[in-house]
Amino acid sequence: MDNLLEVQDLQVSFFTYAGEVQAVRGVGFSLGRGETLAIVGESGSGKSVTSKSIMRLLAKSAKIKHGSIRFEGKDIASLPEKQMQDIRGRDISMIFQDPMTSLNPTMTIGKQITEVLKKHRKLGGAEANRRAVELLDQVGIPNPDKRLKQYPHQLSGGMRQRVVIAIALACNPKVLIADEPTTALDVTIQAQILELMKKLQQELDTSIVLITHDLGVVANMASRVAVMYAGKIVETGTVDEIFYEGKHPYTWGLLASMPKLHEKSEELTAIPGTPPDLSDPPKGCPFAARCPYAMEICHEYMPEYTEHSETHRAACWLQDSRAPKVQSPLAGGD
Ligand code: SF4
Ligand code: MG
């Protein structure tokens, strides 16, 4: 496949007064054209740090220590900020969880959209305005002419996220990184925004990296999934491989904690325990302390990836030929 984005052995740390926190510990994945890759995991798994590394929007205390981020073959991990500014918003755009963090409260919607168009597309005033109206229309905002003159606070949360999507798509980016794009919205609006993203992706052929903790969103949106835990990708596969043939006990735990139809949310089985402290990461499998199947070796050595298909691999000692055979709880339906 001809990959648009290729991340290899990415390592990102935060340097705090208390020492180094290894938030991302050797992450690698690729993104093909027009594809949606979901990165899933609990909060603190390193998924947002990964996405911010791609955008080069990390906090000052964070540093990319190692690895490469190739966009159309060119490593952008160490690109000077000036050059990165040309790529950001034009080739790679990002949508965050809370639309208010990406919108400027003191600027009209229109100004915020036309600024992007003027900067990256070198459009003149009238042309940029015309395009802004078009964009708002495309993301399903009624009366775009009127909306352009309004400020973010005059719009509902769902409408604001539509504006953010319009801005993100203003320059037809090749890659869209959506970090929990619907988490802050109520359920009906969530579904609408996801539908909108799907529709736009088909129209514009944008590739999407979707960061989420919600496997329901993954099933609905993605073609491939990377499961992250404690700064590592522990399993990756197609949606079917992850949902029906998942190999990693953490993946099983995530799937078990997914609300099922006809089940009240109180009946969810959250994975007991907490993720490891990444200022002092465990030397073995990072999931060992919470894993019901942990063996002695798990605490001592990090498992390598085992390939189950061209698209499916998992890092777990259970996949070793010498390990006891464990029946996947996914087998045989529910
Ligand atoms: Fe569990 Fe061991 Fe597999 Fe880690 S390597 S997920 S501790 S069985
Ligand atoms: Mg996050």
Q: Can you give the pLDDT at residue 269? A: 67
Most confident of 125-129, 164-168, 298-302: 298-302
Ligand nearest to the CA of 288: 1
Which residues are bridge partners to 14 per DSSP?
21, 62
Ligand 1 centroid to 288 CA: how many Å? 5
For range 96-105, the mean pLDDT: 86
Buried b (16+ CB within 10 A) or exposed e, 43-72: ebbbbbbbbbbbbbebeeebebeebbbbbe
pLDDT in tens, 104-134: 999 999 999 999 999 888 889 899 999 999 9
Q: Can you give the pLDDT at residue 262? A: 54
From 293, 301, 306, 320, mutation site for ligand 1 pocket: most ligand atoms within 8 A of C-beta: 293
Domain boundaries, the chain: 241-334
State the pLDDT confidence band at 267, using cuts at 50, 70 and 90: low
User: In Å, what is the CA distance from 235 to each residue of 40, 69, 211, 225, 319?
Assistant: 10, 20, 15, 8, 12
Q: Can you give the pLDDT at residue 333? A: 47
Q: Can you give the pLDDT at residue 266? A: 53
73 C-beta neighbours (distance < 10 Å), count? 9
pLDDT in tens, 211-229: 998 898 999 999 999 999 9
Atom of ligand 1 nearest to the CA of 250: 6
Ligand 2 centroid to 156 CA: how many Å? 22
Q: Can you give the pLDDT at residue 257? A: 83
Q: Can you give the pLDDT at residue 334? A: 46
Q: Can you give the pLDDT at residue 317? A: 97
Ligand 2 centroid to 121 CA: how many Å? 30
Ligand 2 centroid to 48 CA: how many Å? 4
Which residues are bridge partners to 15 per DSSP?
20
pLDDT exceeds 50 at position 242: yes
Ligand 2 centroid to 315 CA: how many Å? 23
Atom of ligand 1 nearest to the CA of 234: 6
Atom of ligand 1 nearest to the CA of 249: 6
Atom of ligand 1 nearest to the CA of 297: 2
pLDDT exceeds 90 at position 85: yes
Percent of the chain's residues with pLDDT above 70: 95
Q: Can you give the pLDDT at residue 47? A: 95
When the pLDDT of each residue in the chain is averaged and rounded to a whole number, the result is 92
For range 295-318, the mean pLDDT: 97
User: Of all protein residues, whose CA lies closest to atom 7 belonging to ligand 1?
Assistant: 288
Ligand nearest to the CA of 39: 2
Burial class (CB in 10 A: 0-12, 13-18, 19+), 309: exposed
Q: Can you give the pLDDT at residue 221? A: 93
Q: Can you give the pLDDT at residue 18? A: 86
User: In Å, what is the CA distance from 144 to each residue of 147, 191, 198?
Assistant: 5, 22, 21
Atom of ligand 1 nearest to the CA of 292: 1
Q: What are phi and psi of 227, to 5 degrees?
A: -95, 120
pLDDT exceeds 90 at position 187: no
Q: What is the ipTM of this complex?
A: 0.96
State the pLDDT confidence band at 271, using cuts at 50, 70 and 90: confident
Most confident of 196-205, 231-240, 258-267: 231-240
Percent of the chain's residues with pLDDT above 90: 74
pLDDT in tens, 30-84: 999 999 999 999 888 999 999 999 999 999 999 999 999 999 999 999 999 999 9
Ligand nearest to the CA of 294: 1
State the pLDDT confidence band at 6, using cuts at 50, 70 and 90: very high
Ligand nearest to the CA of 46: 2
For range 310-316, the mean pLDDT: 97
Any idea which residue has 């000036």 for tokens? 82
State the pLDDT confidence band at 265, using cuts at 50, 70 and 90: low
From 228, 313, 316, mutation site for ligand 1 pocket: most ligand atoms within 8 A of C-beta: 316
Ligand 1 neighbours by CB, cut-off 6 Å: 248-249, 285, 287-288, 291, 293-295, 298, 303, 316-318
Global pTM value: 0.93
Residue among 181, 330, 306 nearest 250 (CA): 330
